[in-house]
A and B are shown apart, each in its own frame.
Chain A
């Protein structure tokens, strides 16, 4: 199996098959990357496509200095930041979240989302890059331009914070109570208090 970097270099030399292989490997993970960070699934799909378009445009300038995976998620993070700026500028209200259709346990998924939403932004990003994108500490540090030790500390803090909320029965119970409720409601406040204790 050809590695990603070799495929990227082949694509740089003009191989369409190499690009299609890369696309097959990373379109799903990239879609998941955007989907977990954006409410709108259509925008997540668009941004995943835009990531590959950016790769095509930047292919002549590509230098194999880091892993292709890091390279792709680096583009993804930039596109995500642009999208968030656009949403903030246009004042677009948060579109209603669409629940993943295939989750075996939708309630647990909702609890995870709510627990993640309570984390500090930087810690959440590091945790998601580690857990869902399966990036190493060094790759995360490179992407977020942070020292590796900082990444490790923040990841530990994020996991500890989640561990404090990890009471499956209680969590599910809270999730049921707070489903559909905005943050700031008494139920959400009670849950915040429980998790922050």
Chain B
């Protein structure tokens, strides 16, 4: 007990002010964990300081005493299970290489191989379901005309070869979405590269890999928007027609407002989102719902914006990685550690923000936006039978009563709003006026 108390006193006495080397640093020096400069400083201090020599000796004693816990020796021969696993791995590798080549063996050994297979099958199924009706649309003369009307830009990319991916529908389920479009004449191998590049890390997209970058540059990312104003004489039918068109083209309603005044024409304003490759056919079908008052289309190329965003995202990720490694490997003051952590938090916030922006850009490319306005043809209806005298008298009474109430309320509101100001100005003007009035009156009287 006395010895422990002595140690306690010694520990309390060993402060930073009389020991340039902390106790933990003495321990780290003994463990060989100090950088060279600090180790030299610790060694110099240890030579001179008796307390630290005692501490070092005790720490060595602790380590020495721990060696008493020995473990029985272990047979270094490879056990049966491990040997069998080695044999199995070798044979699997040999069979795979013999049958399908190295890439297939590597694919089989991946943990995500089953998931990738399922995803591939799902993508094939979805593409089959989506492309079948799309091809039938292209066969119809009306669709051909609509495609021709959609401009030269669309003609350039109006190809039936699309990369289809599963996109969640806001109504639930899964719909097909176009990730990218491929110009005619591009070899299939190049197409695969282009699709990979669109989903690849930003470094390849930003142009570090010339081959991939050149392919990507040929596939611009275009955010398509269209505006359509229609007038219809059967509002209900046109309204349900819009839903039907959206359902056929796997689109969804972004925003929808219907105004139905008691007297006058009804009006529907909607923002529709459809897969970009089906914009032309969707517009053509929408135009059959009424008389076209206005039609416009716009394509905004956001490739540069996307590439810039990807590059900034890659840089931010690299910075985050470096900061994390720095935090993990370097030792220093608490304030420096906190500073690094603050910087990491800031970089992570930027990364999340940029990822959200990237997702938004991708959605803008995958889904075209159609702003539709549907107006009902106005038909004025003559009121042949006037209201009865009693009804008119009752209505006039109610109107008069409401008018009186409104006037009283407005007067009260006026007084509440301006009363204090009127009182203030009244007081300011009244007393000087009375003073001068009385003075003038006295003069005139005298």
Contacts and interface: CB of A to CB of B under 8 A. Distances in A.
Contacts of B79: 49
B339 to A, nearest CB: 14
A159 B28 contact: no
A60 B68 contact: no
A93 interface: no
A61 interface: yes
Interface string A81-113: 000000000000000000011111100110111
Name the interface size band of chain A: 35 or more
A160 B10 CA distance: 13
Nearest to A106: B68
B36 interface: no
Contact of B7 (A127, A149, A163): A163
A160 to B, nearest CB: 8
A162 B331 contact: no
Interface in B110-146: 110-111
Contacts of A122: none
Interface stretch (B70-78, B172-180, B201-209, B383-391): B70-78
A101 B72 contact: yes
Interface in A153-182: 153, 155-156, 159-160, 162-164, 166-168
A52 B33 contact: no
A49 to B, nearest CB: 5
Nearest to B11: A160
B328 interface: yes
Nearest to A149: B331
Contacts of B75: 27
A152 interface: yes
A125 to B, nearest CB: 14
B26 to A, nearest CB: 9
Contacts of B73: 28, 102
Nearest to B25: A152
Say what secondary structure dominates the interface of chain B: helix
A166 B58 contact: yes
Contacts of A42: none
B337 interface: yes
Contacts of A56: 82, 85-86, 89
B36 to A, nearest CB: 15
B329 A109 contact: no
Given A56-B82, A149-B337, A152-B28, A23 B69 contact: no
B167 to A, nearest CB: 30
Given A61-B110, A197-B1, A32 B71 contact: yes
Interface stretch (B59-67, B285-293, B427-435): B59-67
B69 A113 contact: yes
A14 B90 contact: yes
Interface string B91-111: 001000000000000100111
Contacts of A148: 328-331
Contacts of A164: 4, 7
Contacts, number: 129
B24 to A, nearest CB: 5
Contacts of A147: 327-328, 337
A132 B11 CA distance: 27
A62 B81 CA distance: 21
Given A14-B93, A16-B90, A197-B1, A100 B69 contact: yes
B33 A162 contact: no
A57 B88 CA distance: 10
A57 B85 contact: yes
Most buried by A among B1, B23, B89, B109: B89
A112 B170 CA distance: 63
B31 interface: yes
B270 to A, nearest CB: 49
B50 interface: no
B331 A152 contact: yes
B248 to A, nearest CB: 45
A94 B70 CA distance: 21
In order of increasing CB-CB distance, the 7 nearest A-B pairs are A108-B68, A60-B109, A31-B74, A32-B71, A103-B70, A112-B69, A28-B74
25 contacts: A14-B90, A23-B82, A28-B74, A31-B71, A36-B69, A52-B82, A56-B85, A100-B69, A100-B71, A102-B70, A112-B65, A113-B69, A116-B69, A131-B63, A137-B28, A147-B327, A148-B328, A148-B330, A148-B331, A149-B337, A152-B331, A163-B61, A163-B62, A166-B62, A167-B3
Given A136-B33, A137-B28, A156-B27, 15 more contacts: A20-B78, A23-B82, A24-B76, A49-B79, A102-B73, A108-B65, A131-B63, A137-B33, A149-B331, A152-B24, A152-B27, A159-B62, A163-B58, A167-B3, A168-B65
